[in-house]
Structure 1
Amino acid sequence: MTVLLVALAGGLGAAARFVTDSLLARRNPFRVPLGTMVINISGSLLLGLLTGLLATGSPGTAGATVEAVLGTGFCGGYTTFSTASVEAARLWVAEGSGTGIRYAAVTLVASVAAAALGLAIGQAIAGMEST
């Protein structure tokens, strides 16, 4: 049953990515693929938050299923670091190495920072609930 839920959540994440990217592409004033960057940063924040919230649970509980469905399924379907890599390479070729490197670096650093922020917020919320 968990595998089915992960697959369903992955499909929902991919659909959310498509809608988000489509909306941002229409309004993007920059020459870089802003949609993929926003998706990866927001997905990293969401996964960090989820991980922080569920960090206090013991393995084998319902929390593990929730983490698999939402973390692996939804966030895995929503984020797309492979596309970000291709876009960085495309920018490198079309706009020059500096643009490609800056896009990749900003995406990576901002995504890791967002994950850390989400983790800290999730742990703080989980800590408040346990007291």
Structure 2
Amino acid sequence: MTSSGAGQDVFRGRPVRGRGRAFGVLGAIAVGGGLGSVARFLVTSAVPVGASGFPWGTLVINLSGSFALGALMVFILQVWPPSRYVRPFLGVGFLGGYTTFSTVAVEITRLAAPTAAVYAAVSLVAGLAAVWCGMTLARLTARVPVRRGPRKETR
């Protein structure tokens, strides 16, 4: 009886391939998140809550982060060559640590009803507009054509 695995230890597991890469990506996200959180702290320190109680600092952070995310995705997906660590470091890590949804939710509960509704609406609508502006400016800067409509298949 011959076996292709004769002489091998059957109780020893196979080495996990790519484990070092996974920790590299997680490390990039962690470092980016830490730097983004520090940047958020610095911005909120520079733009304190106004006398009316309106959270201008958080609004500035989320709108600038939305703008940056729109621009970043154009550069990552259409301009720069593929990279394993750029999107996790900048998109998930830095901008994930920089922007904050949880703070918006807490601030909405602390504001008076009309102001809270305006703050929520402005955060949503202006955030989407900021993403669009970031994408548009990035495409103009990089001279990437704007795609219109669904892609047509070519054969």
Asked if these proteins are the same fold (TM beyond 0.5), I'd say: yes
Question: Which runs of structure 2 are paired with 1:1-131 in the superposition (5 Å)?
Answer: 1-25=24-48, 28-56=50-78, 61-62=82-83, 64-91=84-111, 95=112, 97-127=113-143
Query: Which 5+ residue runs of structure 2 have no aligned equivalent?
Result: 1-23, 145-155
How many residues in Structure 1 have an aligned counterpart in Structure 2?
121
Q: Give TM-score scaled by structure 1 length.
A: 0.83
Please report how far the alpha carbon of residue 123 of structure 1 lies from its aligned counterpart in structure 2 after TM superposition.
2.2
Query: Which 5+ residue runs of structure 1 have no aligned equivalent?
Result: none
Using the alignment, how far apart are the partners of 2:143 and 2:93 within structure 1?
A: 25
Q: Secondary structure at the match of 2:78?
A: coil
Aligned partner letter, 2:85 = T
Q: Secondary structure at the match of 1:87?
A: helix
Using the alignment, how far apart are the partners of 2:138 and 2:74 within structure 1?
A: 4
Confirm or deny: 8 A CA contact 1:54 1:126 kept in the other structure. no
Confirm or deny: 8 A CA contact 2:79 2:142 kept in the other structure. no
Using the alignment, how far apart are the partners of 1:7 and 1:43 within structure 2?
A: 18
Cα RMSD for the two superposed structures: 1.9
Kindly indicate whether structure 1 or structure 2 has the higher relative contact order, using CA contacts under 8 Å at least 6 residues apart.
1
Q: Report runs of 4+ in structure 1 exceeding 2 Å deviation.
A: 28-31, 123-128
Identity %: 42
Which has a greater percent of helix? 1
